[in-house]
Amino acid sequence: MCLGRVCACVLLLSSCQWQEPWHDVQETRFLLGTLVSFTVYSNDEEKALAAIQQASAIMQSVEQSFTSFTDVDNSVQRFNHALAGEVITLTADVDGLLRQSLQIQQQSLGAFDPVLGALNQAWAFSEAKNQQKPLSADLIEQALNVSGVLQLQAVSGMKWTKNKNQTQLDFGAIAKGFAIDQGIQSLQTSGIEHAIINAGGDLRILGNHGDKAWKVAVRHPRLKQPLGWFDIEDDSSVVTSGDYERFFVYESKRYHHILNPKTGQPADKNMSVTVLTASATLADAWSTALFVLDVETGLKMVENMPDLEALWVDKHQVLHLSSGMKKMFFPSKAH
């Protein structure tokens, strides 16, 4: 009789195993030149941490493939150091992203350009000690003369060449988004359904936060308070390009790192542009392109692109929203 009761108790306990509660599992790494935070909403912390470790490694691999500012031996560096006419074989990822970049260059009427390495290098905003005076007109003209997609030639397959020795690829306006997409894909492969990867304010969201949407704030380009926020569910990316990250002020004028490919000067139509779409790669590239364009031109483009929305803070600090953005963005009281 007692033994029967003991067996019954053991069976009862084994059928009621403790379940780990759903909670945020968070890790932060330095990748892509910025702090990258991983947030996984899960009831299995060990699985979530292992998934974050794998995603982080994937993103670091992307960084190594695309960087043009270190001594890493990659196909981007080999192309940039090659002589005019020398044929360089790019890796599959670099070749694929270059082709996607060239499509966006055409769609954006040249506002986005992946062949601005020489111009970006001349301005030196990505260096630890960048200059505090604007480039002279002569130096800008010299850099523009070797920059731009017209200096690039596709040979066959993944083989490319260039017209001038100094022509350089620079994926700085799209590679971070691509890395975020690869990180999310890695999390999904590891069985993660709800997460955020936030790379210095550029982020992609997967799933939801329990029974709630993920709340994402958008930085105001001049004020300390947020510009507003989104409530986002499912798979979406939010990327902002602004004139407040890397800049200097010279004679009361702000000079920043987002350059107009046509003039060689920092773009002067907007203070910030935020893009919301599924792909972080597209959001990254289009936030740059729309920043360069004036609001009217950019808004017409966005309204003709399905599943992509945008908001602008123009140079007068006036907020503009695409038609779809008006339904999902909640401006702060100041706006």
Q: What's the rounded Cα separation, in Å, for the pair 241 and 17?
A: 48
Q: What's the rounded Cα separation, in Å, for the pair 104 and 106?
A: 5
Residue extents of the structural domains in the chain: 75-162, 213-335
pLDDT of 249 above 90: yes
Q: What is the pLDDT of residue 13?
A: 40
Q: What is the pLDDT of residue 334?
A: 61
What band does 282 get if pLDDT is binned at 50, 70 and 90? very high
**pLDDT tens digit sequence for 169-182:** 999 999 999 999 99
Domain 213-335 homologous superfamily, CATH: ApbE-like domains (3.10.520.10)
Q: What is the pLDDT of residue 15?
A: 45
What band does 2 get if pLDDT is binned at 50, 70 and 90? very low
Q: What is the mean pLDDT of the chain?
A: 92
**pLDDT tens digit sequence for 153-162:** 999 999 999 9
Q: Sheet harboring 226-232: ordered strands across? A: 214-219, 226-232, 329-331
Q: What is the pLDDT of residue 300?
A: 98
What band does 233 get if pLDDT is binned at 50, 70 and 90? confident
Q: What is the pLDDT of residue 131?
A: 66
**pLDDT tens digit sequence for 297-308:** 999 999 999 999
Q: What is the pLDDT of residue 126?
A: 79
Q: Mean pLDDT over residues 193-218, rounded?
A: 94
Nearest to 79 by CA among 123, 121, 117, 125: 117
Question: Any residues with CB less than 8 A from the CB of 224 and at least 6 apart, and which?
Answer: none
Strand positions, DSSP E, 61-219: 88-89, 152-156, 159-162, 195-199, 202-206, 214-219
* pTM for the full predicted model: 0.93
Q: What's the rounded Cα separation, in Å, for the pair 196 and 242?
A: 21
pLDDT of 4 above 50: no
CATH 1.10.3720.10 assigned to domain 75-162? The reply is: no
pLDDT of 253 above 80: yes
Which amino acid makes up residue 292? V
Q: Mean pLDDT over residues 185-206, rounded?
A: 97
Q: Mean pLDDT over residues 303-318, rounded?
A: 97
Angle, CA 88 vertex, CA 84 and CA 90 arms, to 5°? 135
Q: Mean pLDDT over residues 139-157, rounded?
A: 98
What band does 333 get if pLDDT is binned at 50, 70 and 90? confident
Q: Which of 10-14, 147-151, 216-220, 282-286 shows the lowest mean pLDDT across its residues?
A: 10-14
Q: What is the pLDDT of residue 229?
A: 95
Q: Mean pLDDT over residues 189-215, rounded?
A: 94
Please name the residue ranges forming H helices in 67-134.
75-81, 92-107, 117-123
Higher-pLDDT residue of 8, 186? 186
Q: Mean pLDDT over residues 65-86, rounded?
A: 94
Q: How far is CA 206 from CA 153, 265, 280, 309, 330, in A?
A: 38, 37, 12, 18, 21
